[in-house]
């Protein structure tokens, strides 16, 4: 079974600065997807960024980018120019590519990000 570990329960960053959230995972599969989700107090999980394991290039979405190290099974999220609206719980998630149609996700325990004005 796959596991996802987020070792930072809480992080804080000054507004406009850069912060990196860590995530490691364990799997015996070679093909999979990794995600970062944001969960504000509304509880809705919002997709931030996604990475396909077969792609060597790190995914980027505006101020959000990842550092995907497949051999090390590491998938960190970098948030540049942090904004007050970035404050939320952030979850790292894994999805196997093997089960077509069953896109169930395995989540980490989350990191609470606080933005300091």
Residue 64 binds other proteins, judged by CB under 8 A: no
Q: Cα 68 vs. chain centroid, distance in angstroms? A: 10
Angstrom CA distances, 2 to 19, 83, 113, 117, stand at 26, 33, 25, 37
From 33, 72, 76, 26, select the one nearest 55 (Cα to Cα): 33
Residue 1 binds other proteins, judged by CB under 8 A: no
Find the radius of gyration of the CA atoms of the chain. 14
User: Interface residues for other proteins in 65-104 (CB under 8 A)?
Assistant: 91, 93, 97, 100-104
Distance of closest approach, residue 114 Cβ to other proteins, in angstroms: 16
Residue 109 binds other proteins, judged by CB under 8 A: yes
Joined together, the tokens standing for residue 33 give 């997807």
For other proteins, the closer of residues 104 and 117 by Cβ is: 104
**Interface mask toward other proteins for 28-57; x: CB under 8 A:** -----x--------xxxxxx--x-------
Pairing mode, if any, of strands 3-5 and 10-14?
A: unpaired
Which residues contribute to the site for other proteins (CB under 8 A)? 4, 33, 42-47, 50, 91, 93, 97, 100-110
């Amino acid at each position: 079974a796959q596991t996802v570990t987020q070792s930072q329960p809480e992080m804080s960053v000054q507004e406009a600065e850069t912060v990196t959230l860590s995530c490691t995972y364990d799997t015996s599969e070679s093909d999979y997807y990794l995600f970062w989700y944001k969960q504000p107090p509304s509880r809705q999980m919002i997709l931030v960024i996604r990475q396909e394991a077969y792609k060597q290039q790190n995914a980027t979405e505006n101020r959000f980018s990842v550092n995907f190290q497949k051999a090390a099974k590491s998938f960190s999220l970098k948030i540049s120019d942090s904004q007050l609206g970035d404050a939320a719980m952030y979850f790292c998630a894994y999805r196997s590519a093997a089960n077509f149609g069953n896109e169930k996700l395995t989540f980490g325990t989350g990191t609470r990000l606080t933005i300091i004005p």
